[in-house]
Structure 1
Amino acid sequence: MITHEDMVEAFGDEGLLLMDEEQARGRGFSDADAEVLCQVGLPVRADQVFTTFLPDEPRTGSPVVFKTGNGDVEVFILGGTAGDAGMRYFLDIGSGVVGLLSLDGQAQAEKVNSSLANFVEFLHRIRLRQQALNGDPDAGQDYTEKLWQSLKELDPDAFDSTEAWWSMVLEHLMDRGAIDEARAFLQQRRAEVAEAVSGDEPAAGSGSHRDRFDRALRRLEAQGWDVVDAEDFAAYTDGEGLLSPSAELEDHFGADGSLAKDVAIAWRGGLTSRIQSEFAREGLVVSVPEQDEDEDEDLLDLDADELRKRSDAAMKALFDSVHGLNEPKDGVVTCLATDRPSDLCRIARAFGRLAEHGYIAEPDLWPTPSGGWRQVQERTRPGQEPKAVFWVTQRHTECFDARGNLTDELPLQWAGDRELIAEALAETGLAVAVPEDDGSTFILAPAS
């Protein structure tokens, strides 16, 4: 049987949910199920197969009673799937089996695993698969075939037909190429970030400069960056997503938390546009290295095939960066001690106002428009129309200078109230071209 130590090694302490034993006693769980829930733990997320981040009821931990011809059946909601807000995994408290409930239309349920222990073991092995492919993306099919066989041996009932849930999951994983693996990994990280920063964190841009600086670093950590000291930064030469601020941070801030001196932040791996954008959300100006000239090609001039190639190339580059398959780039960005906000700061502030109206409004949301819209769809509650404003990484690096000021026209993907978006963007002081229809983008341009 899977142990808590196994789960911690795979998911980390913060990646597990443990139920309080006192709370479990009154639920009627079997001893075996109580042990799994209270001592082993459920993962917070497992690839795109399982998540405890549910936008609507019933949520993880909720009791639900099904009315059947044979009487009431009491179940315990375990979680859902990352790609479908209408799916819920549940534990049948009486029989101990794990099922999957579809809430779309007429509710339907199917058996998924013969026991809760097997279900958690499945999620654990799915996680190990993702970790194994980090360093060897070309081994996807071979690894997944072996995984499929091992899961069949563990719980044959879970694969009693080709239409069974786990049969379809493994079939999907078999077909997932390296780029799709990267998309799945990054979508998972972004979803985790959305949850990590949506709690009791103070509003972006509030507090002293030091408060904002620390909050920007926390946001980046939530996205997978590691904040390390200079010694570790020097040691981890092959590391990805590393940030190392100046050692004597206290010397850069006044007693009131105001930024008195520029702060150098060494970075290795990852995207500097993300660093710049997260600090801009806090009203802080970060100067980043200039882009290479050959990266300034205008994507709007490319045809559909060339755009598709560029999109896949961008995802491949991100995949290689995430999984450590290329030589990580590094350098230094600088948080500037200035009272003069950048255009990026002004836009981020306008996006903050739109977020107060329920918009998904984010700078540099995703490398490509299609991936950005997938993010919006996943974060939009069922039954609601999407409300979003964002731009993509490919445009960020072309349209902003090192300091975060616009140098070219920036297309904004959008959905929602055109007038409200236009009103918010007008407050940036930049030139705003409002689209005539839903099929066109907003355009932000440098103020004349």
Structure 2
Amino acid sequence: MESSLRRVSSLGWLISQERQILEGRPTVILPPEIEPYFGAAGELIRDLPLGWGNGMPSKIQCAFARFDLCLKIDLEEDAGEAVVAAGKRERTDLCRIVEALASLEALGYVAEADFAYTNSSGWSDVHERNGADAKAVFWNSQAHLDCFDSEGMLVDDLPLQWSGDLELIARTLRGTGLVIEVPEVREQVFYICSDEEALD
């Protein structure tokens, strides 16, 4: 849990226990007392409520997924309440996909969930980080909004921008257990499909 909050903070969000959202500052608000939500080993034993505002909810949903936590949050709102789910019966699609991205990141890829607001700004950031020949896998914010529900489960086929080793990316993504639509040419995107059948 602490790691996920550090990740959120690194994205520019203020973490607070005050019931106040500063104007213009993305903020996550924790309960005044958080100890009762955790067991002796530090595991989450009760659903943890959070307040939030002034930022994109998809960003914090992805930040929690990076640490295999399901954040239930309304992706259509600008502020509101969210819940970190305790004892989730199954891993969310988002958690599985983010884990695959972490594997690619370890291999030198820029591999990010909800990386940028648009594809063009995402590629600009990739090239700024690692040059014109950078290897990357990412999706944009609009795709996240269109393709995930409030719990991080896919409701539509997720398009992934990519560059690099097609076979390596495909193999890594298949490790999610989801259906992967592999592009036939480099100008096409990958799709992670929302059901058990690939695209027609």
Q: Normalized against structure 2, the TM-score is what?
A: 0.93
Q: Distance in 1 between matches of 2:192 and 2:104?
A: 16
Counterpart of 1:214 in structure 2 is 2
2:141 maps to 1:389: no
Amino acid at match of 1:215: S
More helix by share: 1
Amino acid at match of 1:402: S
Which among 173, 178, 188 is matched to residue 440 of structure 1?
188
CA distance in 1, matches of 2:164, 2:181: 16
Instruction: Give per-residue Cα distances to partners, 1:256-293, cap 9 Å, x unaligned.
Output: 0111001111001110000000000111110111538x
- 2:98 equivalent in structure 1: 348
Compare CA radii of gyration and give the structure with the larger one: 1
Q: In structure 2, what is the equivalent of residue 364 of structure 1?
A: 114
Q: Distance in 2 between matches of 1:338 and 1:413?
A: 32
- Report the counterpart of residue 379 of structure 1 in structure 2: 129
Equivalence for 2:25: 240
* Aligned residues of 2:64 and 2:70 also touching (Cα < 8 A): yes
Q: 2:48 aligns with which of 263, 276, 284?
A: 263
Q: Gapped runs of 5+ residues in structure 2?
A: none
Aligned-pair CA distance for 1:224: 1.3
- 2: distance between equivalents of 1:330 and 1:283? 23
- The 5 A counterparts of 1:97-116 are none
* Structure-1 separation of matches of 2:27 and 2:43: 25
CA 1:270–1:290: 2 relative to 1, 3 Å: closer
Query: RMSD over aligned Cα, in angstroms?
Result: 1.5
Q: Is the 8 A contact 1:429 1:447 kept in 2?
A: no
> Is the partner of 2:161 in helix, strand or coil?
strand
Runs of 4+ residues deviating >3 angstroms:
none
> In the aligned structure 2, how far is the partner of 1:431 from the partner of 1:253?
35
Question: In structure 2, what residue type is equivalent to 1:220?
Answer: V
State the distance in 2 between where 1:239 and 1:440 align.
37
> 1: CA distance between counterparts of 2:174 and 2:113?
16
> Structure 2: how far apart are the matches of 1:277 and 1:417?
24
Q: CA deviation at 1:246?
A: 1.6
Q: Which residue of 2 aligns with 1:428?
A: 176
SS of 2:154's equivalent in the other structure is: coil
Counterpart Cα distance in 1 of 2:57 and 2:75: 10
Letter in 2 for 1:275: I
Q: CA deviation at 1:447?
A: 3.2
Kept in 1, the 8 Å contact 2:100–2:172? The answer is yes
* Residue among 144, 148, 161 paired with 1:400: 148
Name 1:59's counterpart in structure 2.
none
Q: For 1:19-73, what per-residue CA distance to the aligned partner results, in whole angstroms no more than 9, with x for missing partners?
A: xxxxxxxxxxxxxxxxxxxxxxxxxxxxxxxxxxxxxxxxxxxxxxxxxxxxxxx
> Distance in 1 between the 2:176 and 2:71 partners?
18
- Structure-2 separation of matches of 1:374 and 1:421: 21
Alpha-carbon distance in 1 for matches of 2:127, 2:158: 22
**More contact order relative to length (CA 8 Å, sep ≥ 6):** 2
Q: What is the count of residue pairs matched by the alignment? A: 195
Report deviation, 1:403: 0.3
- Whole-Å separation in 2 of the counterparts to 1:252 and 1:216: 16
**Residue from 419, 429, 442 that aligns with 2:167:** 419
Code of the residue aligned with 1:434 in structure 2: it is V
1:395 and 1:416 mapped to 2: Cα distance?
21
Say if 1:283 and 1:341, in contact at 8 Å, map to a contact too: yes
